[in-house]
Structure 1
């Protein structure tokens, strides 16, 4: 029994490639999710469109006309999302600082306990 393969039009290929670029998924997971017949076919499309300079591009930056047509709610939502992202990054930074401080304390204790120099001296070559 032969498998029946689906033939994709150029438009379908480009749409799938655009979705792949926007999804951020691995090729394997994207192929599974979208139901493309196999991964090597999809990789061939990627290679083909990159070499032909018809590569899929990300959405363009908003132009001045697009920005003028945005509502205040859109701006508020964007600002809210950016503030949330800033809070997340500040939290990650503070956690990183705590990790660094704990690591330094552990090295200090190990140097005292084992009576050896762990950190390099600043003038060492």
Structure 2
């Protein structure tokens, strides 16, 4: 027995395409989620209505650009101070990590000398 396919109005197709572009899902996942008959149908709609949907859904100014335009100098200074503080923390963590690596290398070198066995892998090993 064949499954009866539902028909979509043009408004439904456009709204589904808008939802597809905003969802970030793969075509397959989107078709499965919205019970579309297959990828062929979605590809056909994209080909037919894609330009129309993209032109309607892309605003000229995004909300982040508006937020940045309306921010005060004080908020920029605060964010800059927070970022500088974060950079100092990360540099400190990086230097500590480098010291740890150097200490491990030194320990391995001393162990190789003391026990007279190779611990590190050789570059040409098969």
Matched, 1:97 2:102: no
1:12-49, CA deviations, whole angstroms, 9 ceiling, x for partnerless residues? xxxxxxxxxxxxxxxxxxxxxxxxxxxxxxxxxxxxxx
Root-mean-square deviation (CA), in Å? 1.7
Change (3 A) 1:62 1:88: farther
TM-score in terms of structure 2 length: 0.50
**Max radius of gyration: which structure?**
2
Q: How does 1:36-55 map to 2 (within 5 A)?
A: none
Q: Which runs of 5+ in 1 are unaligned?
A: 1-50, 53-60
Q: Which runs of 5+ in 2 are unaligned?
A: 1-32, 35-61
1:105, distance to aligned residue in structure 2 (A): 0.3
Q: How many equivalent pairs are there?
A: 67
1:66, distance to aligned residue in structure 2 (A): 1.2
Map of 2:30 onto structure 1: none
Change (3 A) 1:62 1:110: farther
Q: How does 1:1-125 map to 2 (within 5 A)?
A: 62-125=63-126
TM-score in terms of structure 1 length: 0.50
CA distance in 1, matches of 2:124, 2:95: 30
> Which structure shows the bigger proportion of residues in helix conformation?
2
